[in-house]
Amino acid sequence: MNRAIIAAVLIVVAGWHSVARQQARSQPGQEVPPLRNSISGSRLGIAWGMIYGFPLQKPAVFMPELRRLGAGFTKVNLFWSQLEPEKGHYNWQALDPVLEQIQSPDEAVLALFSSSPWATQKSTWAFPPSPAKNSEDYYRFIHDTVAHARGRIRYFQNDSEPNNPMFWSGSKEEWIRELRTFYKAVKDADPKAEVVLGGCDGLFGPPGQRAIPGQERVLDFLDYALKEAGQYFDVFDIHLYADPYTIPARVEFIRQRMAAAGYSKPMVSTEYNGPGFFEFPANRRYFGLLQSWSQSLGGSGAATGARNEPAGIPDLYRQMASLAPETQMFMMGCPEALERKLQRLQARDMVIRNVLAFSAGVQRTAFWDMFHDTSKRDDLTTLLYGKLRIAEYKDGLPSNSYYLAGVFQRMAAALNGVESIRRIPYPARESVYVFEGLRRNRPALVVAWERRDTFSGEDSPAIPVELESNSTRAAGLDALGHQVPVRIKDGHLNLQVSVTPIFIETGP
């Protein structure tokens, strides 16, 4: 990946994580009618990560571990440069290992990026993608790739986050033209395959809330795509970073835009995680790291694998002990107490983000990401994303699982078979969030937590909550794996609720 591109992407994405959380206002939660899950397969997934099998990676065997954790699908990014390094000469060494791990066509979304040193307007191995020089070459590449995977992968995605210039260097009109070619090539190669629209990074403030800086480009691209692309995709992909409490409003905004264009399509999210480094006010002073890093980097890291040491990161480590705890906890080798605190924050975020997404009608979600290379401590991506990962891999095989693996596994067990989730109002205290999940062949699931400050919310004691219920038995387990006592009396469930989501299993 071009390192300057990475830096600029982080400026756009990581920066907006912080602004979105700061600007979002609590919404009472307009009830969304339960939506039928029209997409087959598990609703919970884990994306592999940005790069798979190139330039220096050995293709990883990761689907067995993914299934063990209760996930049912993944997203893998592959590039034109990987699969057709020279015109007419295909190399399936990155694709075939994925196909060999797939047990069902519904288990994978394959994102194909229009990036090539010979075939695209911008000569590159990875980022940013750009329009093909020749539409016939692009059609042939997509057609032949889908034909190679026919019957083994159902979902194909064209690029990703095209509203971000780091992920699409052409115009919105060029992107739509290439989408039309992509759609035709996919359907010609496999009529049963479905096109997942590269979609939107989701970084915008919902109507009625303060805007995220730069969202004008996001919404302009989104509006144009939804108006012009309706007949050229089957599923819409929205990435759900930033403040999780704005997810229902953001999803509804896109749904309304589709309706205004005269159609309705299922929605998925193939990327989400949190909380991010810049979500915390104490870390916003370090935006300069992003800018200086971007200015100091050059060349193509994707082609050579080379990295420059980002300015400022070594300085942070030299003064680590004096930094704010919100900063230290993202750093490698931080005090054990802060390491554990960040894990707790991530565990809560994972559950909250998924429950809110499913309550809004999002049909599938994929955590970002399974693997993230942290071998270079002073790489800025290590600081920002190095601790948001599920597992470690060595020579293509899993060598270690991280804390979030257990969190995901607990969540997947609780949400197994969930068909719909709806919020149940709790007028006694608006900060308390209560949801009911309907599950196939299982009793309904109740999920409850109190919305508080992300960093300090756990310092306040739990509060008593009483919920109406006709259940005769109930058991509570929170996102951290702790048992939570639940008492049943006079048609009510009584329990103590805190910032940590609780899964409440009920029964007759």
At residue 300 the predicted structure's pLDDT band, cuts being 50, 70 and 90, is very low
Write out pLDDT tens, residues 222-255. Answer: 999 999 999 999 999 999 998 999 999 999 999 9
Within 8 A by CB and 6+ apart from 218, the residues are 163, 200, 201, 203, 204, 212
- The arithmetic mean of pLDDT across residues 36-58, rounded, is 79
Query: Quick one: which of 326, 480, 482 has its CA closest to 403?
Result: 480
Query: Is the pTM value of this prediction over 0.85?
Result: yes
For residue 349, give the H/E element and its range. Answer: helix 336-359
DSSP label at 363? -
> DSSP states of 159-220 as a string?
SS-TTSTTT--S-HHHHHHHHHHHHHHHHHH-TT-EEEEEEE---SPPTTSPPPTTHHHHHH
**What is the pLDDT, as a whole number, of residue 311?**
57
Write out pLDDT tens, residues 273-294. Answer: 999 898 898 998 887 776 555 4
Q: Where are the domains of the chain?
A: 3-24+40-280+339-415, 418-507
**What is the pLDDT, as a whole number, of residue 33?**
42
Is there a common fold for 3-24+40-280+339-415 and 418-507?
no
CATH number of 3-24+40-280+339-415: 3.20.20.80
- The arithmetic mean of pLDDT across residues 436-464, rounded, is 96
Residue 398 phi/psi, 5-degree rounding, is: -65, 135
**Highest averaged pLDDT of the listed ranges 127-131, 169-173, 354-358:** 354-358
Count of helix runs (H) and strand runs (E) in the chain: 15, 19
**What is the pLDDT, as a whole number, of residue 256?**
95
Q: Kindly indicate whether the domain formed by 418-507 is annotated with CATH number 2.60.20.30.
A: no
**What is the pLDDT, as a whole number, of residue 39?**
59
Q: Is the pLDDT of residue 16 over 90?
A: no
Mean pLDDT, the chain, integer: 88
Q: 18 is written with which tokens?
A: 């912080």
> How far apart are the C-alpha atoms of 385 and 383, rounded to whole Å?
6
**What is the pLDDT, as a whole number, of residue 41?**
64
Write out pLDDT tens, residues 400-419. Answer: 999 999 999 999 999 999 99
Number of residues written out for the chain? 508
- H helices present in 229-335, as ranges: 247-260, 287-296, 301-304, 313-318, 325-328
Q: How many CB atoms lie within 10 A of CB 257?
A: 16
Say which range, 138-142, 306-310, 470-474, has the weakest mean pLDDT: 306-310
DSSP label at 192? T
Q: Give the 3-state secondary structure of residue 229.
A: coil
Write out pLDDT tens, residues 134-183. Answer: 999 999 999 999 999 999 999 999 999 998 888 899 999 999 999 999 99
Give the residue, 25 or 44, on which the prediction is more confident: 44
* CA–CA distances in Å: residue 354 to residues 18, 163, 180, 192, 371: 19, 24, 32, 28, 20
Q: Is the pLDDT of residue 21 over 60?
A: no
**What is the pLDDT, as a whole number, of residue 415?**
96
